Amino acid sequence: LPFLLDRAAGPHGTLLGHVARANPHWHEFAGRPALAVFSGPHAYVSPTWYEAEPAVPTWNYLAVHATGRAEVIEDRAALLEIVRRSVDVYEA
């Protein structure tokens, strides 16, 4: 799911997202623990890059795990605001 970070909501911010009602997954969210995983840049690291031997290849990567409690927004105006903000960001 695409998320927006509302930095002003909560001590560490709040992730906002939208799941279509046609998607049955939203029924499972309300009040439950949630984990959002964000994958960042990644790249192969060749053993030839190391000065010390023996060396083995590895993978350099970045990932962020965000945990919290999911909340289903039923208020129509609040829901439309989340959708509007998402469109503004992702359709830009």
CA 20 – CA 86 distance, rounded (Å): 13
pTM, two decimals, is 0.75
| Long-range interactions of 28-33: CB distance < 8 A, separation 24+ | 29/70, 29/71, 29/72, 30/70, 30/71, 30/72, 31/69, 31/70, 31/71, 32/69, 32/70, 33/67, 33/68, 33/69, 33/70
Model pLDDT, residue 30: 84
pLDDT one-digit tens code per residue, 18-71:
998 899 988 888 889 999 999 999 999 999 999 998 999 999 999 999 999 999
pLDDT one-digit tens code per residue, 62-86:
999 999 999 999 999 999 999 999 9
